[in-house]
Amino acid sequence: MGGYQGLVLRVDLTNQKVTTERLNMEWAADYLGGKGLGMKYLYEEVGPGAGALAPENKLIFMTGPFTGTIVPCSGKLSIVTKSPASGTILDCSIGGSAAVEIKRAGYDAVIIEGKSDHPVYLLIEDDRVELREAKDYWGLGCHDTEEKFKQTYGDDYSVLSTGPAGENLVTFACITSDMYRQAGRGGVGAVMGSKMLKAVVVKGTGGVGAADIQKLMEVAHNAFKNDLLTDTNLWAYTDGTPMIVELSQTTGILPTNNFQQGNFDKFAGIKSESVTAARLAKKGCTSCGLGCGNFIKAGDVVVEGPEYETLSVAGSNCGIGDLGAIAKFNNYCDAYGLDSISTGGVIAFAMEMTEKGIHDFGIRFGDVEKYLELPGLIATRRGLGAELANGVKKLAETYGGREFAMQVKGLEFPGYDPRGSWGMGLAYATAPRGACHMSAWPVAEEAYGERDPFTIEGKAELVKDLQHYNAAKFSLILCDFWALSFDLMAEMLAALLGREITAGDLELAGERIFNLARLFNIREGMGAKDDVLPERIYSHPLPGGATMGKTLPEGEFKKMLAEYYSLRGWDENGRPTPEKLARLGLA
Amino acid sequence: MGTVKIELRGPLARYGTRDKGTGRMEMTADNGVTVLEILNQLHIPCHHVGLIVVNGKKGTMQTALREGDHLIIFPVVAGG
Amino acid sequence: MKLKFQPEKCIGCHLCELACSGYKEGVFNPALARLQVSSKYKSYNLVNEARLCDRCLKCVDACTTGALKFDAAQLVLNGDECVNCGACFEACPTGVLRPGGQGFPLVCDGCRGDPYCVKWCPHGALLVEEAR
């Protein structure tokens, strides 16, 4: 068999028991792997109303069919669970080497269930799997945790860990691996903390096969030379995501001062050139040919980052334009185990609340000193951090400012202002996990591309198609930064699995996966009422630059949403019709 | 005839051969030259071109340039 | 020919090891590659290291049966003559020579002068250098 190992590792923390079982190959055929297959297991195993931080929730680490093969950019791991931030289905991916180690140890997936009554870590060395006491690690930051495990087991082990934020159930706690790679969004780290699982430490020595390995290597090498290492993808190597800062600044969608502006007067400090000037080395994930990571030294900090999302949401959006300060903030978030997007979002919200005199959080835009204190306070729920740890949505419910609480379904906005890229507004509103830039990224074609960003025309279809594309791609699993076609994905998958697979099959799988996520959320009581954007996007015009005077009017948004539902074969409440479900094999 | 300032971002910088790969250069061109004509002169394949910025504002392949204009060419980007 | 590693150009992708094991062993497994590359953060520094066969031929000298030979500018193993004595592994100064699944040494034959590991290196960290 090629691609899959055919085995799932199941870890019952309540009974401290580890078992293995066959991977459900029917599900693998329909949901591919990664995001899709993880969601299918979650959908089947975690019923409606389950508490996200309760023992009945599960934490699923899922690899994909390409994981561990020579297919470039296939090194990421999907982490699927129910989100404590949004109550939705949540999938979040992490780079580095952990996915490949899990696969080489012989497993397609690791499913964590129940809850331990004391801190533990999971040690995986091929078929030797043990839960071990983690009291010496509990309370440590992610970096120190990883260093300590590597001293004990060796540098060639991969570590997935949660930090103090996850231990303290902060709903935007992340999971860290290879020091500077994160599964950031939606609180995967809090779910790990709630189960008292400090870390997964994994080393595999096995291999991954392919049905037709010669053919796969031939196709993959051709793709590597002529489709991956091209001027369309190599920005990830020359610059990495900081390149996007200048794109957003120019097109007026760079979140600034909690989305009050779409460009930032101090942007020179956070643009790509500044990051590149501080760079020590480039770093990629296992099997990556690009190498987007920038390992930098800024002031007294070394860190891999900051990425665009941190530079924008935790930089300009907090009124901070000093790369040294943002790098330090990034490092604190990584160490404490916080999603730098949501952490930046919640701080920016507190800053505006204070400046508007609605509630005094004692922090204002550009206040670097207080800004740098907050990750530690939030992760340990001390002082002001105890409040901010609740996230933007809950803060607004308690103190007001709801119209500028920049979140959807409880997940804080990433770094693109939808008033300057209307399709992005639809993407935020309809992404299963809330305001998310990974389910579809139409900004590339709207704000940064040739399509008119200030119209709803054609956007419903664009967003729908991108959602299917990403759902399939992140299930296989391939990295976002390789802009490859469905045809090429299908050609490589066919050689790997030894059966005929078409681009159409993958597109349909993408649609199936996206609809399954929707069904999970519907089962939790969500629907059209939750597919909304904050009032600021509808009615606060941006004050300058390329987006001067722009909003995404609610009427236009509603029209775009209705068209989207209709194109999807969903009813006016955003529920897939029985015919659509039948066509997707979801009935 | 006039001079335009050009910056090529990311991997496109390699097309700026006369500037030691920094991607920054000045070019002499006729008034009214279009962005597309500049791209052709520099042998930059259009399908790798993303955002075009002229004097700080979004432009197109057809935008005509004048003396002193500042052109920035970004590559296509995917993901975020 | 000889392989050369430039650590400052390595991004730690391991495509070289995956290619080597894929072409030579028919499976993607870095443990079966004829070279070893490591790219890890150690004490908050990024450390890129590689072990490559540098054709020192100490393994050939150590071989007790003549199974390992340097012939026509490449290392060759005659499996029929190898008795799995392990002398070659001990003689290898870099440790790059390792046993494969059946205990035979995983010998880097340089892919007839056009190594797959180099072909799969995205940013030029691995090069072919002419030697001898």
**pLDDT tens-place string over residues A303-359:** 999 999 999 999 999 999 999 999 999 999 999 999 999 999 999 999 999 999 999
Taking the CA of residue A415 and the nearest CA in chain B, the distance in Å comes to: 9
Chains that touch C (3 or more CB pairs under 8 A): A
The CA distance from A310 to A76, in Å, is 20
Taking the CA of residue A175 and the nearest CA in chain C, the distance in Å comes to: 17
Q: Left, alpha or beta for C110 (phi > 0: left; psi -120 to 50: alpha)?
A: left
A485 touches chain B (CB under 8 A): no
Enumerate residues 44 to 63 of chain B having a beta carbon within 8 A of any beta carbon in chain A.
Answer: 45, 47-48, 50-51, 53, 56-58, 60
Query: Cα C69 to chain center, whole Å?
Result: 16
Quick one: pLDDT at residue B78? 79
Name the residue of chain B whose CA is nearest to A473's CA: B79
Q: Which long-range CB contacts under 8 A does A49-55 form with residues at least 24 apart?
A: A49/A524, A50/A82, A52/A81, A52/A82, A52/A83, A52/A84, A52/A87, A52/A187, A52/A190, A52/A191, A52/A194, A53/A84, A53/A169, A53/A190, A53/A191, A53/A194, A54/A115, A54/A194, A55/A13, A55/A14, A55/A113, A55/A114, A55/A115, A55/A195
Question: What residues of chain B lie within 8 A of the CB of A231, using their CB?
Answer: 10-12, 45, 48, 75-76
Preceding omega of A255 cis (within 30 degrees of 0): no
Average pLDDT, chain A: 97
CB count in 10 Å sphere of residue B32: 10
Q: What angle do CA A406, A409, A412 make, to 5 degrees?
A: 35
**Closest CB to A250 among B11, B47, B51:** B51
Name the residue of chain B whose CA is nearest to A478's CA: B79
List Cβ neighbours of A351 (8 Å cut-off, separation of 6 or more).
A257, A258, A318, A319, A361, A363, A364, A365, A367
Q: What is the DSSP letter of A256?
A: B
Question: What residues of chain B lie within 8 A of the CB of A443, using their CB?
Answer: 80
A290 touches chain C (CB under 8 A): yes
The CA distance from A351 to A244, in Å, is 25
Q: How confident is the model at residue C130 (pLDDT cuts 50, 70, 90)?
A: confident
Quick one: pLDDT at residue B18? 65
Q: Which long-range CB contacts under 8 A does C67-72 form with residues at least 24 apart?
A: C68/C105, C68/C107
Strand pairing of B64-65 and A181-183?
unpaired
A229 touches chain B (CB under 8 A): no
The CA distance from C59 to A396, in Å, is 70
Q: Which of A367, A370, A340, A364 is nearest to A352 (CA)?
A: A364
Name the residue of chain A whose CA is nearest to C19's CA: A70
Considering the domain delimited by A240-400, tell me its CATH architecture: Orthogonal Bundle (1.10)
The CA distance from A227 to A580, in Å, is 34
Question: What residues of chain A lie within 8 A of the CB of C43, using their CB?
Answer: 147
Name the residue of chain C whose CA is nearest to A149's CA: C42
Lowest mean pLDDT among A169-183, A558-572, B10-24: B10-24
Rounded to an integer, the average pLDDT of A474-490 is 97
Q: Is CATH 3.30.70 correct for C2-54+94-129?
A: yes
CB-neighbour burial class of residue C79 (10 A; exposed 0-12, middle 13-18, buried 19+): exposed
Residues of C with CB under 8 A from a CB of A: 8, 11-15, 18-19, 21-23, 25-29, 31-32, 38-46, 48, 119-120, 122-123
State what percent of residues in chain A have pLDDT above 90. 99
The CA distance from A424 to A441, in Å, is 7
Quick one: pLDDT at residue C102? 86
Cross-chain Cβ contact C23/A217 below 8 Å: yes
Q: How confident is the model at residue A62 (pLDDT cuts 50, 70, 90)?
A: very high
Dihedral angle sign, alpha carbons of residues A136, A142, A143, A146? positive
Q: How many helices (H) and strands (E) does chain A have?
A: 23, 17
Name the residue of chain B whose CA is nearest to A546's CA: B57
- For A75, phi and psi rounded to 5 degrees? -90, 5
Question: What residues of chain C lie within 8 A of the CB of A179, using their CB?
Answer: 41
Quote the longest CA-to-CA distance of chain B: 40
Taking the CA of residue A111 and the nearest CA in chain B, the distance in Å comes to: 28
One fold for A240-400 and A423-583? no
Dihedral angle sign, alpha carbons of residues A335, A338, A342, A346? negative
Domain residue limits, chain A: 7-203, 240-400, 423-583
Helix-helix angle A503-523:A34-45, to 10 degrees: 30
Taking the CA of residue A480 and the nearest CA in chain C, the distance in Å comes to: 16
The CA distance from A176 to A335, in Å, is 9
Cross-chain Cβ contact A235/B45 below 8 Å: no
Taking the CA of residue B55 and the nearest CA in chain A, the distance in Å comes to: 10
**pLDDT tens-place string over residues A212-243:** 999 999 999 999 999 999 999 999 999 999 99
Taking the CA of residue B70 and the nearest CA in chain A, the distance in Å comes to: 13
Rounded to an integer, the average pLDDT of A67-93 is 98
Count of CB contacts below 8 A, A vs B?
A: 88
Q: Do chains A and B touch (3 or more CB pairs under 8 A)?
A: yes
Evaluate whether B9 touches A249 at the Cβ level (below 8 Å). no
Name the residue of chain C whose CA is nearest to A293's CA: C11
Evaluate whether A482 touches A72 at the Cβ level (below 8 Å). yes
Helix (H) or strand (E) holding A342: helix A340-355
Cross-chain Cβ contact A206/C12 below 8 Å: no
Domain residue limits, chain B: 2-75
Q: Which two tokens stand for residue C68?
A: 């390992």
Helix (H, G, I), strand (E, B) or coil at A200: strand
Q: Which of A190, A308, A325 is nearest to A249 (CA)?
A: A308
Regarding an ipTM greater than 0.90, the answer is: yes
C77-to-A88, C16, C35 alpha-carbon distances in Å: 58, 22, 16
Taking the CA of residue C7 and the nearest CA in chain A, the distance in Å comes to: 10
Cross-chain Cβ contact C122/A217 below 8 Å: no
The CA distance from A373 to A380, in Å, is 11
Q: How confident is the model at residue A18 (pLDDT cuts 50, 70, 90)?
A: very high
Question: What residues of chain A lie within 8 A of the CB of C119, using their CB?
Answer: 221
Quick one: pLDDT at residue A39? 98
CB-neighbour burial class of residue A143 (10 A; exposed 0-12, middle 13-18, buried 19+): buried
Preceding omega of A477 cis (within 30 degrees of 0): yes
**pLDDT tens-place string over residues A398-408:** 999 999 999 99
Query: Cα C92 to chain center, whole Å?
Result: 11
Question: What residues of chain A lie within 8 A of the CB of B45, using their CB?
Answer: 231
Q: Reply yes or no on whether the pLDDT at C132 is more than 60.
A: no
Q: Is CATH 1.10.599.10 correct for A423-583?
A: yes
B76-to-A178, A236, A437, A449, A483 alpha-carbon distances in Å: 29, 11, 17, 8, 10
**Closest CB to A287 among C18, C23, C32:** C18
Question: What residues of chain B lie within 8 A of the CB of A416, using their CB?
Answer: 80
Cross-chain Cβ contact B75/A482 below 8 Å: no
What length is written for chain B? Answer: 80
**pLDDT tens-place string over residues A115-140:** 999 999 999 999 999 999 999 999 99
The CA distance from A373 to A336, in Å, is 12
Considering the domain delimited by A7-203, tell me its CATH architecture: 4-Layer Sandwich (3.60)
Q: Which amino acid is at A422?
A: W
**pLDDT tens-place string over residues C51-101:** 999 999 999 999 999 999 999 888 999 999 999 999 999 999 999 999 998
Q: Reply yes or no on whether the pLDDT at B80 is more than 60.
A: no
Domain B2-75: assigned CATH number = 3.10.20.30
A568 touches chain C (CB under 8 A): no
Cross-chain Cβ contact A207/C42 below 8 Å: no
Strand residue runs (E) in A17-88: 17-22, 59-62, 77-82
Question: What residues of chain A lie within 8 A of the CB of B53, using their CB?
Answer: 250
Question: What residues of chain A lie within 8 A of the CB of B24, using their CB?
Answer: none
Count of CB contacts below 8 A, A vs C?
A: 98
Evaluate whether A581 touches A587 at the Cβ level (below 8 Å). yes
Give the CB-side neighbour count of residue B37, counting CA atoms within 13 A: 13
**pLDDT tens-place string over residues A512-523:** 999 999 999 999
Q: How confident is the model at residue C131 (pLDDT cuts 50, 70, 90)?
A: low
The residues pairing with A109 across neighbouring beta strands, listed in sequence order, are A8, A62
Rounded to an integer, the average pLDDT of A43-57 is 98
